[in-house]
Structure 1
Amino acid sequence: MLIALIGLLSILGTVIEQNAEPEKNVRLFKKIFGEALAPTAYQISESLGFMDMYSSWWFLMLLALLALNLIVCSIDRLPGIRRIVSRPMTPLKEEGFGHHGINKEFTYKGSINDVRIKVVTALKQLGFRPYEFAFERGIQYYARKWQNVRYAVYVIHLSIIVILLGAVIGIQFGFRGFMKIDEGQTTDKVFSRKGGENHLGFSLRCDDFTVQFYGDTDTPKTYLSWLTIIENGQEILKTSIEVNRPMSYKGYTFYQSSYGALGEENG
């Protein structure tokens, strides 16, 4: 239930642009709620934290509850799983053979020792660890493998908790911002949507930009920026970025989100 709720909210967080200028989401709400209700819908959404959802107290609380739920469930189930994994195998009562849903009966001619060797060899070749039990009418074999695979759920739970912890650390100690760089321009400043300013400790220069469109339309097919990282007066790295192919340097990841003509605000 918690995972479904977090997933649903995350989808909502991709529809509502996070930390965006109010006009962008107001335009979105106009399409959904109409011209009259859009401003009110935006104000309510902003007051509930949907404009910066991933940093809101209630979203972080949901992540914490999910992590706590995984930890409690894992601890609660551990004794039972340990009993199942470590439980010694015991022979099945003779009258119980015919009551299993999967069973097969066949005849093999040979000595009891030949049969024993063939059965044990076949089980070992399949990766099983066979157990032999003698009873009045013959010999009974039990075999099992991969019993420790029951612990795999703890690997999955731990992975989810690590992902959640990484998300919280990123939210609390990381930041998101934007840079508007014209061709030939160099800057080291990143601006947040809330008006804050951060200095990278190195500079970024936009050497060139190109965009391709679908046919004769104004719909962009792809657009690329060629960038140079400059640190201490030296050109450290030259590379290109495009949508869904970012550049990373010293813990910062740069995504290309939009473009515009020189002097436009949406570049």
Structure 2
Amino acid sequence: MDQINIFIDKIYNFLKSLTLAVVLLSLIAFFSAIGTIASNVKFLKDLGLDNVYYSKWFLLLIVLFVINLVLCTLSMIPSTKALFSPKAPNKIFKSKRKDTKTHLINLLKSKKLYIQQKDDLIAAYRYPVRKFAVYGIHLGIFIVAFGALVGSIWGFRGIMEIPQNEASNIVVTRNNYLSLPFSVYNKNFTVSFYHNKDIPSEYKTTGYIIDSTQKIPFSTTVNHPFIHKGIWFYQASYQLNPHDSFIILNVNNSRVQLYLHKPVSIDNAQFYLANLSYYNSKPIALLYVELPQGSASGWIKLGDSANLGPINIVFEQAKESYITILSVAKDPGSNIVIVGFIIMIASSMLIFFKFRRRVYKVEQI
């Protein structure tokens, strides 16, 4: 029985130790930072660290930290309680007055001190709330950790891929997918480029939320999300829709409509549109052409022409249709986390107040 009690005490002392708190805090901070950048780093993404906030082992770290915090806080209560239980006096107050105790109490209260009485002892405290700052900080950390748990258990993060003029309610997460109780309709997606460059300067999705009989308009660009029913939608990226994106070529005075990744044969030649992009603010197409005498490939700009033996090609028109890619996230614990941080900051401010304690023993002479 004694060995069991010793073993339990060792576990209890380990769980409430400052060493464990530092280790857990360091691990949580490290993996939180990794989780923030993992989606942009391939080898971290391959390890599954882009979904770290919703992993079971990350939840375990938070649970262990909460247990450590609670036990650490509970172990501090006896010393705090003793501090506010007057015992050994450190000052003697002598007076000839019959109402010596009442006189001392009134004197201390006039200095705006907090007073406690026990028998012939009177304790006076200046800024006693200072001693509860650590409890407030612990409470704030506990609320932040609880909010993180709520977000990890009941929240999610994923993407939606919605072609133009279509609606979807499917969010694809790392290992699964889920259906939203409403749909997002992509009415229009536009992308603009820097002048004389093929680098996009902005891409924007406009549309509306289809929720029951309601149609709620929205517009989103990078770093400008919209929110519906606690779910955040961010403009993440885009890609060409191969089913609706095409170019029109004039091949020996015959017009050919060529879709992405769909080869077309004309005049003993096969044409294949591999890519459609922009250069100097103009559409450019990556073409592959198979001829009886050989093959050719290369980029051609809108309005340009090329001769391939007996075949003359003119790039007359381009129509791009895009699939917008939205990053979708729900974190029901975010407001809880904010409350926790507010409590932590407010409690930290109490540290600037200087705590003083005097215990008087009253003697009538």
TM-score, scaled relative to structure 1? 0.61
Deviations 1:225-257 (A, max 9, x none): 33311122331x223233344322223222222
SS in 2 for 1:193: coil
- How far apart, in 2, do the equivalents of 1:130 and 1:59 lie? 46
Structure 2 letter corresponding to 1:65? L
DSSP 3-state at the match of 1:53: helix
For residue 254 of structure 1, the aligned residue among 229, 233, 246 is: 233
Q: Which residue of 2 aligns with 1:180?
A: 161
Written as runs of structure 1 = structure 2, the 5 A alignment for 1:48-87 is: 50=49, 52-87=51-86
Q: Which amino acid aligns with 1:80?
A: S
The CA deviation at 1:4 is: 1.7
Structure 2, unmatched stretches of 5+, are 1-21, 94-102, 117-122, 243-321, 326-365
Determine the structure 1 residue equivalent to 2:212.
232
Q: Which of structures 1 and 2 has the larger relative contact order (alpha carbons within 8 angstroms, sep 6+)?
A: 2
Letter aligned with residue 146 of structure 1: Y
Decide whether the 8 Å contact of 1:186 with 1:206 is kept in 2: yes
Are positions 1:3 and 2:25 aligned together?
yes
Measured in 2, the distance between the counterparts of 1:210 and 1:86 equals 70
- Amino acid in structure 2 at the alignment position of 1:11: A
Change (3 A) 1:251 1:130: closer
Say which SS state the counterpart of residue 176 (structure 1) adopts.
strand
Query: What secondary structure is seen at the aligned counterpart in 2 of 1:4?
Result: helix
Tell me the percent identity. 32
**Superposition deviation, residue 80 in structure 1:** 0.9
Number of aligned pairs?
209
**Structure 1 spans left out of the alignment, 5+ residues:** 30-41, 95-115, 132-141
What is aligned with 1:107? none
Answer whether contact 1:85 1:148 (CA < 8 A) is retained: no
Residue 180 of structure 2 corresponds to: 200
The answer to whether the 8 A contact 1:204-1:228 is kept is yes
Higher mean alpha-carbon deviation, 66-75 vs 164-173, is at 164-173
- Alpha-carbon deviation of 1:82? 2.2
Report how far residue 7 of structure 1 moved: 0.5
Asked if the contact 1:123/1:143 (under 8 Å) is kept, the reply is no
Equivalent of 2:148, from 123, 147, 167?
A: 167
Q: What is the alpha-carbon root mean square deviation over aligned residues?
A: 3.9
Q: Equivalents in 1 of 2:188, 2:133: separation in Å?
A: 49
TM-score when scaled to structure 2?
A: 0.47
Answer with 1 or 2: which has the greater Rg. Answer: 2
Q: Is the 8 A contact 2:209 2:217 kept in 1?
A: yes
CA distance in 1, matches of 2:178, 2:202: 29
SS in structure 2 of the partner of residue 260 of structure 1: strand
1:64-143, aligned counterparts within 5 Å? 64-87=63-86, 90-92=89-91, 124=111, 128-129=113-114
Given residue 169 of structure 2, which amino acid in structure 1 is its aligned partner? D
Tell me which residue corresponds to 1:25.
Answer: 42
Structure 1 pair 253–87 and aligned structure 2 pair: CA distance change class (3 A): farther
Structure number with higher strand proportion:
2
AA aligned to 2:81 is: R
What's the counterpart of residue 113 of structure 1? none
| 8 Å CA contact retained: 1:123, 1:130 | no
